[in-house]
């Protein structure tokens, strides 16, 4: 008689495991509206108590799940909460979590077309929907990554391989002083010296200044550098600023530069009319990064890069081995391993495909329109409050502001606003974070979760008003 293999679960054991997990997941999600939003008290102690040696034997699953849900999850930034208005919110669609379970349980090899043609086709469809959203031509290709950082890096490597010789160290990259640090990091990881990344000044709305950029390009050329790529932002992390894309596309065309657009935060607002207006010209880019784990509310772990000339993406990544099955010649049969730095990877497409097919793009558009409206509502109400200064009006669903009461000198405003922000967050109904804008400490509100609605924005505004009264001693 063979001994049973504990790693191979019976049908009953699989059902029971999923049920144990599901009971806790549903309870967790249902209680999100009343959970704290950023109470990390005791989190370090829990973390330290969890350090452990590799277990030789097993433990009951209920105990393990309780440890995770009761001890590990609570003392965290609650990124799934409707009150999470910090950084760039994610969300975490349950539909995508189920898709992950299915993708992992079936565990097929979707990076090689011949190994799972229909799965590769599903990923091709997802990439093609994204292509349509940004307005790229049918010859564009793309790939799903783990997030925006890897997507920015993939775009930079593609541009470098396409536009520069093997000795590329004279190549220079231009981005604004507001761009996400993953652009500079991507350039460094693509092999460029750190000093070749030019941080160009921005205007009063934190958008890249095309005049300053043109000057810097000319100066670099005169010094023997090879300007080759502009990395614009369609929604910066600091203020949601959208760089002047039509002017940048004109300049890139005149100068023969690759135009990359980091639309990790803003890109999916292209599903809305207001977003299309704000990001007009994005379709003229050579490459674009989108982050479904931001603008499509997916759980963390999905970014996307799209390249106008799909062949350029393939040329930059196509390499195979004698031990592999044959790669496809037909461009309509995509081997994603030939368009991506990854070979083995999770089947990410299903976590986009399932919710998109279940609900349609319209459901996402409605949610995104609501987020834009909520950011404008917040800006209007803050503007009307005495002693509040809007530092960055919403260009999409993000705004920055601060308390600037009459008579308080500039030198006192940063610590005052830090105390104010701490008071807002102490209420644990919303979580806001701040940035620095030209030296000014600037609390920001970023609305992007499918769980955030008007009621929560009203709570945010109430808590802001109460915190203002507290720090001003009114």
Ligand X SMILES: Cc1ncc(COP(=O)(O)O)c(C=O)c1O
| Chain residues that interact with ligand X, rule: CB under 6 A | 88, 147-149, 180, 182, 233, 237, 262, 264-265, 291, 303
To the nearest whole angstrom, how small is the minimum distance from the Cβ of residue 433 to ligand X? 11
Q: CA-CA distances (angstroms) from residue 445 to 28, 95, 317, 375, 378? A: 25, 26, 39, 8, 8
Closer to ligand X by CB, 97 or 416: give it. Answer: 97
To the nearest whole angstrom, how small is the minimum distance from the Cβ of residue 186 to ligand X? 9
Closer to ligand X by CB, 306 or 464: give it. Answer: 306
To the nearest whole angstrom, how small is the minimum distance from the Cβ of residue 264 to ligand X? 3
**Measured between alpha carbons, how far is 377 from 457 in angstroms, rounded to an integer?**
9
Is the distance from CB of 432 to CB of 421 less than 8 angstroms? yes
**Measured between alpha carbons, how far is 469 from 219 in angstroms, rounded to an integer?**
51
DSSP state string for 388-403? EEEEE--SSSEEEEEE
Question: What is the distance of C-alpha 472 from the center of its chain?
Answer: 36
List the Cα angle 197/198/199 in 5-degree steps.
115
Q: CA-CA distances (angstroms) from residue 292 to 23, 300, 457? A: 27, 9, 23
Q: CA torsion angle for 184, 193, 288, 215 (degrees, to 10)? A: 90
To the nearest whole angstrom, how small is the minimum distance from the Cβ of residue 302 to ligand X? 8
Is the distance from CB of 322 to CB of 297 less than 8 angstroms? no
To the nearest whole angstrom, how small is the minimum distance from the Cβ of residue 398 to ligand X? 10
To the nearest whole angstrom, how small is the minimum distance from the Cβ of residue 93 to ligand X? 16
To the nearest whole angstrom, how small is the minimum distance from the Cβ of residue 265 to ligand X? 4
To the nearest whole angstrom, how small is the minimum distance from the Cβ of residue 214 to ligand X? 24
Per DSSP, 192 falls in state -
Which ranges of 301-443 does DSSP label H, i.e. alpha helix?
Answer: 310-317, 349-359, 361-383, 410-426
Closer to ligand X by CB, 184 or 464: give it. Answer: 184
Closer to ligand X by CB, 262 or 463: give it. Answer: 262
To the nearest whole angstrom, how small is the minimum distance from the Cβ of residue 346 to ligand X? 15
Closer to ligand X by CB, 149 or 468: give it. Answer: 149
To the nearest whole angstrom, how small is the minimum distance from the Cβ of residue 389 to ligand X? 24
Q: CA-CA distances (angstroms) from residue 467 to 72, 194, 251? A: 30, 41, 46
Task: Return the residue matching tokens 């200064």.
Answer: 389
To the nearest whole angstrom, how small is the minimum distance from the Cβ of residue 289 to ligand X? 7
Residues whose CB falls within 8 Å of the CB of residue 199, separated by 6 or more in sequence, listed in order:
175, 176, 177, 179, 184
Closer to ligand X by CB, 251 or 288: give it. Answer: 288
- Three-class secondary structure of residue 469 per DSSP: helix
Closer to ligand X by CB, 18 or 188: give it. Answer: 188
Q: Which phi and psi (to 5°) does residue 341 adopt? A: -70, -15
**Measured between alpha carbons, how far is 75 from 331 in angstroms, rounded to an integer?**
48
**Measured between alpha carbons, how far is 372 from 305 in angstroms, rounded to an integer?**
24
Closer to ligand X by CB, 96 or 468: give it. Answer: 96
Closer to ligand X by CB, 237 or 449: give it. Answer: 237
Closer to ligand X by CB, 207 or 314: give it. Answer: 207
Closer to ligand X by CB, 162 or 262: give it. Answer: 262
**Measured between alpha carbons, how far is 206 from 212 in angstroms, rounded to an integer?**
13
């Amino acid at each position: 008689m063979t001994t049973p293999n504990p790693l191979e679960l019976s049908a009953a054991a699989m059902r029971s495991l999923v049920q144990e997990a599901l009971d806790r997941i549903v309870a967790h999600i249902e209680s999100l509206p009343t959970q704290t939003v950023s109470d990390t008290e005791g989190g370090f102690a829990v973390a330290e108590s969890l350090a452990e040696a590799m277990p030789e034997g097993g433990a009951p699953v209920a105990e393990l799940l309780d440890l995770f849900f009761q001890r590990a999850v609570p003392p965290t930034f609650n990124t799934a909460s409707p009150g999470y208005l910090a950084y760039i919110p994610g969300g975490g669609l349950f539909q995508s979590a189920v898709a992950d379970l299915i993708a992992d349980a079936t565990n097929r090899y979707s990076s090689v077309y011949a190994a799972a043609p229909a799965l590769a086709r599903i990923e091709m469809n997802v990439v093609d929907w994204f292509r349509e959203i940004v307005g790229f031509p049918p010859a564009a290709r793309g790939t799903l990554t783990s997030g925006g950082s890897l997507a920015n890096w993939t775009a930079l490597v593609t541009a470098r391989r396409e536009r520069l010789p093997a000795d590329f160290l004279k190549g220079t990259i231009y981005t604004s002083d507001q761009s996400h640090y993953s652009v500079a990091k991507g350039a460094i990881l693509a092999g460029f010296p750190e000093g070749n990344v030019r941080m160009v000044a921005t205007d009063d709305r934190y958008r890249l200044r095309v005049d300053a950029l043109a000057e810097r390009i000319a100066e670099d050329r005169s010094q023997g550098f090879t300007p080759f790529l502009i990395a614009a932002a369609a929604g910066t992390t600091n203020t949601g600023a959208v760089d002047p894309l039509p002017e940048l596309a004109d300049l890139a065309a005149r100068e023969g530069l690759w135009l990359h657009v980091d639309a990790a935060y803003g890109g999916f607002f292209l599903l809305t009319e207001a977003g299309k207006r704000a990001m007009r010209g994005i379709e003229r880019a050579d490459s674009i990064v989108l982050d479904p784990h931001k603008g499509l509310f997916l759980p963390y772990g999905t970014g996307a890069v799209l390249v106008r000339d799909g062949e350029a993406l393939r040329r930059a990544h196509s390499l195979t081995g004698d031990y592999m099955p044959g790669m496809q010649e037909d461009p309509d049969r995509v081997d994603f391993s030939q368009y991506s730095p990854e070979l083995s990877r999770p089947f990410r497409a299903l976590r986009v495909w399932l919710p998109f097919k279940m609900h349609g793009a319209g459901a996402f558009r409605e949610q995104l329109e609501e987020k834009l409206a909520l950011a404008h509502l917040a800006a209007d109400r803050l503007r009307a409050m005495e002693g509040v200064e809007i530092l960055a009006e919403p260009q999409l669903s993000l705004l920055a502001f601060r308390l600037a009461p009459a008579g308080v000198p500039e030198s006192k405003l940063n610590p005052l606003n830090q105390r104010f922000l701490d008071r807002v967050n102490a209420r644990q109904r919303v979580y806001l974070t701040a940035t620095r804008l030209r030296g000014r400490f600037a609390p920001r509100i970023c609305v992007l979760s499918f769980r955030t609605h008007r009621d929560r924005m009203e709570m945010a505004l109430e808590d802001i008003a109460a915190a203002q009264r507290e720090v001003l001693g009114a």
